[in-house]
Amino acid sequence: MSKYHNKVNKEVLKEQLLADNEPRTTISFYQYAQILNLNLFRDHLYILLERVGVLGRIYVAHEGINAQISVPTKKEEKLRQTLDKILFLQGIRLNKAIEDDGKSFFKLTIKKRHKIVADGLDDSSFDASKTGVHLTAEHFNEITSKEDTVIVDMRNHYESEVGHFKDAIKPDVETFRESLPIVEDILDEHRDKNIVMYCTGGIRCEKASAYFKHRGFQKVYQLEGGIIEYTRQVEKQGLDNKFIGKNFVFDERLGERITEDVISNCHQCGSKDDQHTNCANEACHILFIQCDACKEKYDNCCSAKCSDFIKLDKEEQDRLKPSMEFNGTKFGKGRYKASKKGEGLG
């Protein structure tokens, strides 16, 4: 294991950051590039970013880098200068969060991965550099207004549940890997149409658009910078916003509001709500949508069973945990739905 990693308890770090009033900015970026020595690159990157006060979660692989981070706002330019020291990151687009309090991450973690996004593809079987045509927000609005265009959400069901583009195809999937064959099957009858893909920040569409071109789709497009950059351009240029609801994000915030529309429901009581949370029972920890009333009723848990469990002392929890089944062990992300009475299935 690398010596460059955080050694302080996460809860301690969380308390420290919540008490810190220094403004921070949440940023994401990615880049496909050939990285030969992952260990060296990983350690070098950790040293550089730690000096700038960066917190966040970064994945590095031989194929590139995928980063979700936060940085002290006053050091944004220093971050840019730091990244420019790395040849393949020079001038990279930094996607700034739309709705941000700077409390998105509490420590810096850089992990080595086989791929920066798990896609299950054999990259040697096609040219991943031959991506779809990149669209600005203006061009996205233009092409998606045409009848011979199909819009595809390349995100997971729990992401599109709280927000998506109007008239988009939303695959009922839990992972990007799972979505590729399912989307291909859905699009088979639309091969002659414009295929426009989008995701959160653009990284999934980079690989997906190249893959679908390899599979014979001719008119493939992708939203440059994803939902995050689209929202920024729409606001700056005064364009019509075709996205409705909330943009799911993979950090402590779990979402940033794009429009005031609430298009999903509390998984417990069924009331209109779009606040994702993880069950407070660490033995469960399932991701689900919970309104404030149910949050109070169930102590931030997905069910009465989990609520009762967290009230036990730790020794009793540890004793019972191996023999108990919770929603988190029975359902995938966002798959949990409570009974009609709202008592939960846990």
Domain with residue 202: its CATH number is: 3.40.250.10
Tell me, yes or no, whether 181 lies in a domain: yes
Domain harbouring 14, CATH code: 3.30.70.100
Which is nearest to 93 in space by CA: 105, 84, 106, 85? 84
Note the pLDDT of residue 100: 83
Domain of 65? 10-112
Per the structure, the count of domains in the chain is 3
Choice between 77 and 339, residue whose per-residue pLDDT is larger: 77
Q: What pLDDT, on the 0 to 100 scale, is given for residue 342?
A: 44
Beta carbons of 94 and 75 less than 8 angstroms apart: no
Q: What is the pLDDT of residue 2?
A: 56
Same-domain status, 76 and 95: yes
Clarify whether residues 171 and 101 are in a common domain. no
Q: Would you state the pLDDT for residue 9?
A: 57
What's the mean pLDDT when you consider all of the chain? 92
Comparing CA positions, the residue from 150, 238, 132 lying closest to residue 194 is 150
- Whether the per-residue pLDDT at 4 is higher than 50: the answer is yes
Quote the pLDDT of residue 15.
Answer: 66
6 vs 303 pLDDT, higher one = 303
What pLDDT sits at residue 11?
A: 63
Please state which of the ranges 15-24, 100-109, 113-122, 135-144 shows the lowest mean pLDDT: 15-24
Stretch 142-168: mean pLDDT: 97
- For the segment 61-80, the average pLDDT, to the nearest whole number, is 96
Would you name the residues annotated as active-site residues? 199
Average pLDDT over residues 186-201: 96
For the chain, give the percent of residues with pLDDT over 70: 92
Q: Are residues 317 and 271 in the same domain?
A: yes
On whether both 99 and 200 belong to a single domain, the answer is no
- Answer whether residue 255 is part of any domain: no
pLDDT at position 102:
77
Of 25-34, 155-164, 261-270, 334-343, which range is least confident? Answer: 334-343
Whether the per-residue pLDDT at 43 is higher than 50: the answer is: yes
Quick check: 287 and 321 in contact, CB under 8 A?
A: no
User: Taking each helix axis from N to C terminus, what angle separates 137-144 and 226-237, rounded to the nearest 10 degrees?
Assistant: 100
Q: Which two tokens stand for residue 3?
A: 């010596």
Average pLDDT over residues 272-292: 97
pLDDT band of 319, cuts 50, 70, 90:
very high
- Across the range 102-120, mean pLDDT stands at 92
In the predicted model, what is the mean pLDDT of residues 63-84? 97
- What are the tens digits of pLDDT across the range 232-262? 999 999 999 999 999 999 998 999 999 999 9
Distances from the Cα of 340 to the Cα of 73, 269, 303, 337, angstroms = 45, 7, 12, 9
Q: Are residues 269 and 308 in the same domain?
A: yes
In this structure, are 140 and 222 located in the same domain?
A: yes
258 within a domain of the structure (yes/no): no
76 plus 145 within the same structural domain: no
